[in-house]
Structure 1
């Protein structure tokens, strides 16, 4: 009788343990992200995600997964690269972009960024080519994408006094507040229509103003300087109230020559180089 009781008890424990294993949910490695687009390429599908579920002008942080359509599973050891392309009436060009790398702590997610410096009024004009390698086999796929116009100027494309075209993009703050905010921007130069390397060791002077409030400024701002750890520029942005802010900027090279932008004075209410922010 005692042996029978023990056998029944063991059966119950084993059953509960098996049920627990069956109910284990797989980790969602893109939780909190929204799907931008799926690009089908034969036996694989490329999934593109970010926090908004769309591409916009300016800086876009993008997460990528590569799915095996036959098994409905995701590749963990692929190698990927990309080339965004804007088709103009008489020419085409690319834009600043990062390499694609494996996301920290993720098995199936790869990450990178693209900075779209412009778009058409109807969000058309851009395509995205993705090349990837799986188990030594190389693949390539190209598809059109939509790039929406961001409501404020979060990216500036300009010719400077050194006859070089630069791309300057606002990255942070994404959620500004009445405080001293960490400001982060990316600065790139147009080497040719397809190549936009990072610009190192320049200085970006910052003077935020509120045009709708007498063009007043704010205290405790600091100029943006280059960080070689991630190749972006960082500074302090002081916001003293909610509303529309024009972030007046001056770009200076390694010898402090001003390449673009002017001081804000009583006679000059804005710099020709600026970004915008509203909250």
Structure 2
């Protein structure tokens, strides 16, 4: 009987301890690294801080669309600042002129208040004589800081074109960049692109309510096309152009495009005919 009472007392005590540990402040806290599955593209150290730039799929900066995540670490105690206010400005230093490129604002992530997210669209790579740098201006704990760092922007390793900078027939310079698909399949793929115009050398606002026609072809297979494609139309929620890309087999595809303004006037690109095998406006992919 004493043994049974002892077991009951031990059981009740264990329940009490379990309840206290779940309700009290003694519960061990697990540190979650929100960037654990991402690639660290670069780490910029200045002002006693580290600005960490991450990418989900890339290991460096490439021409075209780059989605980036930024965190600011206090090097004194290895903690990250919550809700930082950050602006950025990439600049290409050419032999005769400097210019920027399309960028988004850096917004605080919905899941982690130490992570900001945005995109940069580099329209050209650097080279031995011309280079990109990026300036971050940020405010943490009520104090403003700034840092500028040279970065290496390269063409994609597969050499395929996913961004085009061109002059339209309306004498406006545009930049069109492919966002999706990043992992194309033999299927009808969601396709997404972003369109900007050059307001001046440092300003590239997005362009709304245009359209982009799509005619994918396989040059190495008789230049055949595919069924069930849908042209790209403007989506106000994402400020991008969305459509459907049908890929019927693996291999090299040229995505022939035409850019039309809001009244249907063709600003760039051509229809594919027996005489015209490729449009002057296009993306490429191979899988």
TM range (shorter): over 0.9
Match of 1:232 in 2: 240
The one-character-per-residue Cα deviations of 1:216-250 (angstroms, maximum 9, x if unpaired) are 00011111000111100000100000000000000
Residue 176 of structure 1: CA displacement? 0.4
Residue 122 of structure 1: CA displacement? 5.8
Match of 1:266 in 2: 274
Residue 96 of structure 1: CA displacement? 0.3
Output aligned runs, 1:1-279, within 5 Å: 6=9, 10=13, 14=17, 21-22=27-28, 24-51=29-56, 52-121=58-127, 125-150=131-156, 151-279=159-287
- Any conservation in 1 of the 2:133–2:148 contact (CA below 8 Å)? yes
Report the CA distance shift for 1:11/1:218 in structure 2 as closer, same or farther (over 3 A).
closer
- Any conservation in 2 of the 1:124–1:145 contact (CA below 8 Å)? no
Aligned-partner Cα distance in 2 for 1:176–1:12: 53
- Any conservation in 2 of the 1:123–1:149 contact (CA below 8 Å)? no
Query: Secondary structure at 1:223's aligned position in 2?
Result: strand
The one-character-per-residue Cα deviations of 1:157-215 (angstroms, maximum 9, x if unpaired) are 00111111100001000110011100000000011100000000001010000000000
Q: Tell me how large the CA RMSD over aligned residues is.
A: 2.4
Q: Which runs of 4+ in 1 moved over 4 A?
A: 5-18, 121-124
Q: Which moved more, 1:251-260 or 1:44-53?
A: 44-53
TM-score (norm 1): 0.93
Aligned-partner Cα distance in 1 for 2:13–2:47: 50
Query: Secondary structure at 1:212's aligned position in 2?
Result: helix
Residue 17 of structure 1: CA displacement? 5.4
Gaps of 5+ in 2: none
Residue 69 of structure 1: CA displacement? 1.0
Aligned-partner Cα distance in 1 for 2:169–2:59: 38
Aligned length: 277
- Any conservation in 2 of the 1:50–1:61 contact (CA below 8 Å)? yes
TM-score (norm 2): 0.90
- Any conservation in 1 of the 2:94–2:130 contact (CA below 8 Å)? no
Aligned-partner Cα distance in 1 for 2:279–2:31: 52
- Any conservation in 2 of the 1:260–1:272 contact (CA below 8 Å)? yes
